[in-house]
Structure 1
Amino acid sequence: MTDVAPPVSRPKVVRHQLERLIITGELAPGDRLAEVLLAERLGVSRGPIREAITALERDGLVVQIPNRGAFVRVVSEADARHLYEIRSALFGLACGLSASRHTGSVDIELRGLLSSMRGAAERADHEMYFDLNRAFHRTLLETSGNPFLAKQYETISRSINLFRARALTIPENVAASLEEHERIAAAVTSGDEERARSLGASHIAGGFARHLGESVVAS
């Protein structure tokens, strides 16, 4: 008997579509999320739009202001810096733990992701590279063996996805990102916990300058 995956609900589909519009910059920080216009654009009723906006507010991508409506959240440079400091420490810890607990299956998964990332970079497929980048980080978080660490990291990352995606459309940024991922993977698969921790933290810290230089943030 073949297992059939459950259908994805309409609100989840709409939420994913709105999130994609936000992190790619089609809906820019500060833009108002007009339910009627978005419903027409996505071909749905206002109900799923309203549910998606509420979910994205919980994720930190949207703010709702009484009597004014919902808006794409504006992340200030100061807020971004603070979030990156925490994210750097968390990812460094995840990489170190993953290196100390790594298995052959993790090695295979990381190699596969890196191969796909190289292909996406060569094709200049920015959307695919961004998704693979997130998958690479998620793999290391999952293999850290600490679910609380992974949850905290994902919460912080969602808050800065507003401008991370746009930074990964610059060829030089993509090349630097890929090289750093390859070094992290090498440290993890060799079981070098300290090097993996250091590379993971510096990858996020160094990425802040790249993201800040190419992103729309409020001063």
Structure 2
Amino acid sequence: MVIERETYAQAAYRAIQRMVVEGELAPGSKVVVRPLCELLDLSPTPIKTALAALERDGFLVATPHRGYRVPQPTWADMREIYELREVLDGIAARNAAGLERPEEFVAATLKPLYERQQAAAEGADLVAYSDIDLEFHQAIGHASENSRLVRVMENLGGQFRFASGSSARVPGRVHTAMREHAVIMRAVAAGDAERAEREARAHVRKSAAAFDKSVRANGVRSR
């Protein structure tokens, strides 16, 4: 019975996550248990478990006595996150390019992630795309061999995954982002630390611009 309940909760998690990432649940909207039960044909228990997990992962925010809602960050909030990510991703890519055999790291770790993300992009699966996007960036972080940098990246993971899903809704952004990932991989594999850092930072700046375009279309506050 425990396994069955966990399976229902996982199914609810994925379904609600998809609604958030694909914009069916708009930024700022309230997330109510009863309609989700009816929509997903599930009891309240797995729905509540899923909502709590989504809140922990940064896809929802909880308000005491008022339940959950989809995050509606201001652009000022996200600017802070993207500024941090630009620096962190730049350092991570630079250090990864400085590995003893960076081409082996790219072939064994980044290329498989890239191929999975490409398949998700071609299948228009924005949830899988954003999940793998986070894995791709965190893999570079781990390769940097900077444990403090990794911890900070992981703390921002949920918020950045939400941003990734939102920016992916901008027409053409997914395929452009994939090309940027390919450029970063080539720079890392070549051991070109300066170029790897430059391209990683440029990628984050372009992602920030795409996120800005996406959330403003949904009426996000600028402050």
TM-score where L is the length of structure 2: 0.81
Q: Residue in 1 aligned with 2:20?
A: 22
Task: Tell me the amino acid that sits aligned with residue 125 of structure 1.
Answer: A
Q: 3-state SS of the aligned residue for 2:81?
A: helix
Rounded to whole Å, the distance in 2 between the matches of 1:182 and 1:7 is: 40
- Rounded to whole Å, the distance in 1 between the matches of 2:221 and 2:194 is 36
Range moving further from structure 2, 12-21 or 183-192: 12-21
1:9 to 6, 9, 12: 6
Which blocks of at least 5 consecutive residues in structure 1 are unaligned?
1-5
Matched, 1:125 2:124: yes
Question: CA distance change for structure 1 residues 209 and 8 in 2, over 3 Å: closer, same or farther?
Answer: farther
Letter of the 1:60 partner, please give it: G
Residues 64-213 of structure 1 aligned to structure 2 (within 5 Å): 64-101=62-99, 102=102, 104-118=104-118, 121=121, 123=122, 125-127=124-126, 128-213=128-213
Equivalence for 1:3: none
Tell me how far apart the structure 1 counterparts of residues 111 and 152 of structure 2 sit (CA, whole Å).
26
What do residues 69-90 of structure 1 show as CA deviations (whole Å, max 9, x unaligned)?
Answer: 2211211111011111011111
| Cα RMSD, aligned residues only | 2.7
> 1:131-160: per-residue Cα shift (whole Å, max 9, x none)?
443332232123223344233213323114
Determine the structure 1 residue equivalent to 2:41.
43
Query: Are 2:6 and 2:46, in contact at CA under 8 Å, matched by a contact in 1?
Result: no
Letter in 2 for 1:141: G
Distance 1:18 1:150, change over 3 A: farther
Corresponding residue pairs, total: 213
CA contact (8 A) 2:170 2:210 kept: no
Alignment partner, residue 31 of structure 1: 29
Residue 79 of structure 2 aligns with an amino acid whose one-letter code is R
TM-fit CA distance, 1:176: 2.5
Q: Which amino acid aligns with 1:62?
A: L
CA contact (8 A) 1:126 1:168 kept: no
Give the structure-1-normalised TM-score.
0.82
- The CA deviation at 1:42 is 2.2
Q: Which residue identity does 1:175 align to in structure 2?
A: H
CA distance in 2, matches of 1:92, 1:176: 19
8 A contact 1:75–1:160 mirrored in 2: no
The structural deviation recorded for 1:33 is 1.2
Describe the SS at the equivalent of 2:176: helix
- 2: CA distance, partners of 1:120 / 1:16: 15
